Amino acid sequence: MRAAPTILHLDMDAFYAAAEQAAKPSLRGKPVVVGGTGTRGVVATASYEARRFGVHSAMPVAQARRLCPNAAYLMPRFSLYRSVSEQVMELLGRLSPLVEPLSLDEAFVDLEAGGVADDSASARRAGERLRADIRAVTGLTGSVGLAGSKMLAKIASEQAKPDGLTLIEPGTERELLGPMPVRTLPGVGPATGEHLRRAGMTAVVDLVEAGEDELVRLLGKAHGVSLYRMAVGHDDRPVVAERDAKSVSVEDTFEVDLHDRVRIRAEVVRLSDRCVQRLRAAGRSGRTVVLKVRRYDFSTLTRSETLRGPTDDPAVVREAAGRLLESVDTTGGVRLLGVGVTGLADFTQEDLFAQAAGERAQSQSAEEAVDADPGGGVPAAPVPEPPPERRWLAGQDVRHAAYGAGWVQGSGVGRVTVRFEEPTSAPGRVRTFKVDDPDLVPSDPLPLVRAARDQAGSSPASRPKSRSGAGEEMSSP
């Protein structure tokens, strides 16, 4: 345990929803829910305005709509969130070489390792500067916790929400933790919490009074010892800069159960391609392909296949996921499908499956050409397929040839409604178009703050000096 509160925990406030409000002036100060917009979708993040109605993360969207029917329900835009996250992580990297990202919007920072804090006063100054820099660069707010351990820094940032800073002075840990619910401690989930409640322990002070031996008797040696140490405020886990992802996966929940085997197979192919896109974006490859299937009765099956070597080839992942699907009975209907890759590596290896797939594709093409023209002449041109109907999702970025940048408010019955506004504009006007209007096209997200990276580079607070006087910069892991 440290004698100074030099471990910082940053948690961006209602990150996805706040980013959407910053990007869409007409939604500022109004309830916003980000997540799946179908009847079986799940809330990813709710703005504080929506939380007042009881909406929270992981809640079914159908329930959220009943609680807050007038909220804006938007699909996630991860390209925007990743872009903002990179800006935030860059600021954290300027504070210290030891930054431990937990997610896009959350990270630990070792301020002492960066030479920017060695006591309570300097730690508080670093935390306040960071909050100001984040607001200047991204237009968003983050809550900061400062303490002598990771556990307490995270507790402090939770107490600071929204848009605040809380510092826990070393030596006050037990007094602070005592009245808190046992679920506050890391590793105490619903099952452990209920087990402790039945034993008469609902507050952290109850764990301390019960003693280590009793917790070991109730929970086993490893869990009992760890929980007692945390209950008395002891947590010596270091901030670790390199946190390797163990897997990459994507999944979709369907509004109506899928019964058609051809459609199920097509969805697995689509998910495989999305999974590989994420894999390549992270610069990784993987050795094991995992298929997840949740059936009509909520039973969930997982199947996996380990390849001969790491790959990021979409054809290889598609074929492996297809083979796994063949071993699953889907006759009753499928609610959810997921495809993942584990056993990640930083390199790819020539894969015999991919080579075989390529050879089969070439062979098949040659056979089709011969069948089309046995006499050896030029094959007839294929009949073009009609273009698929364009699909517009709520919250999607678009651009119109006449009206400029905007976002989709909703679509249906062959029409799409768009509000034309930008992050730095006033609330914009709404217009409706046919879904196939050629002047309306998908667009990339606009920056939330103009010249954000220039501001990050010019901010004096973003360039702290190390103890040796040299500035140290490190990109986010």
Distance CA 49, CA 26 (A): 14
Q: Is the Cα torsion angle 392, 398, 399, 400 positive or negative in sign? A: positive
pLDDT surpasses 80 at 368:
no
Segment holding 45, helix H or strand E: strand 43-46
Over 50: is that where the pLDDT of 25 sits? Answer: yes
**DSSP-assigned letter for residue 12:** E
**β-strand pairing of 72-74 with 32-35:** parallel
DSSP character string of 246-307: -EEEEEEEEEEEE--HHHHHHHHHHHHHHHHHHHHHTT-EEEEEEEEEEETTS-EEEEEEEE
CA dihedral sign, ordered 214, 232, 111, 83: positive
Q: How confident is the model at residue 155 (pLDDT cuts 50, 70, 90)?
A: very high
* 31, pLDDT greater than 60: yes
- Say which residue, 380 or 404, is predicted with more confidence: 404
| Mean pLDDT, range 80-86, rounded to an integer | 93
pLDDT (average), residues 229-255: 85
Q: CA-to-CA distance for 247 and 460, rounded, in angstroms? A: 38
pLDDT at 389: 59
Strand bridging mode 440-442 / 397-400: antiparallel
Q: Which of 28-42, 222-236, 344-358 has the lowest mean pLDDT?
A: 344-358
Judging by beta carbons within 10 Å of its beta carbon (0-12, 13-18, 19+), is residue 333 exposed, middle or buried? Answer: middle
Give the active site residues.
106
> Tens of pLDDT along 392-405?
999 999 999 999 99
For residues 291 and 366, the model is more confident at: 291
Q: Is the pLDDT of residue 440 over 90?
A: yes
pLDDT confidence tier of residue 69, bands split at 50, 70 and 90: very high
Rounded to two decimals, the pTM is 0.72
Residue 443 has pLDDT above 50, yes or no: yes
- % pLDDT > 70, the chain: 84
Average pLDDT, the chain: 85
User: pLDDT value at position 458?
Assistant: 44
CB 49 within 8 A of CB 34: no
Give me the pLDDT at residue 324, please.
Answer: 95
Q: Is the pLDDT of residue 473 over 70?
A: no
At position 313, the amino acid (one-letter code) is D
Whether the link from the prior residue into 162 is cis, omega within 30° of 0, is: yes
From residue 164, how far is each of 103, 127, 232 by CA, in Å?
20, 10, 26
382 band by pLDDT with thresholds 50, 70 and 90: low
pLDDT at residue 351, as a whole number? 40
Per residue in 331-367, pLDDT (tens digit) is 889 999 999 999 887 655 444 344 344 444 444 544 4
For 119-144, the pLDDT digits (tens) are 999 999 999 999 999 999 999 999 99
Numbers of helices and strands, H then E, in the chain: 15, 17
Q: Mean pLDDT check: name the lowest of 95-104, 242-251, 374-383, 419-428.
A: 374-383
At residue 90 the predicted structure's pLDDT band, cuts being 50, 70 and 90, is very high
Q: Which amino acid is at 339?
A: V
Residue spans of beta strands (DSSP E) within 56-167: 72-74, 99-103, 106-110, 142-147, 165-167
Taking the C-alpha atoms of residue 302 and residue 186, their distance in angstroms, rounded to an integer, is 28
Place of tokens 């007409």: 26
152 vs 106, 144, 229, CA distance in Å? 15, 12, 13
- Report strand pairing: 142-147 vs 7-12: antiparallel
Q: How far apart are CA 133 and CA 164, in angstroms?
A: 14
| Residue in 204, 194, 198 with CA at minimum distance from that of residue 155 | 204
Tell me: pLDDT of 211 over 70: yes
pLDDT at 62 over 50: yes
pLDDT of 58:
86
Strand order of the sheet with strand 165-167?
99-103, 106-110, 7-12, 142-147, 165-167
Q: In the prediction, which pLDDT does 280 show?
A: 86
* pLDDT tens by residue, 259-269: 999 999 999 99
Residue range 279-300: average pLDDT? Answer: 88
Q: In terms of pLDDT, which residue wins out, 221 or 364? A: 221
- Burial class, 229, CB count within 10 angstroms (exposed 0-12 / middle 13-18 / buried 19+): middle
Residue 164 confidence (pLDDT) above 70: yes
Taken in order 218, 223, 224, 227, the sign of the CA dihedral is negative
More confident residue, 285 or 464: 285
Q: Return the half-sphere exposure (C-beta side, CA atoms, 13 A cut-off) of residue 402.
A: 6
In tens, the pLDDT along 171-181 reads: 898 899 999 99
Among 152, 167, 291, residue whose Cα is nearest residue 230: 152
Q: Which of 90, 46, 36 is nearest to 455 (CA)?
A: 90
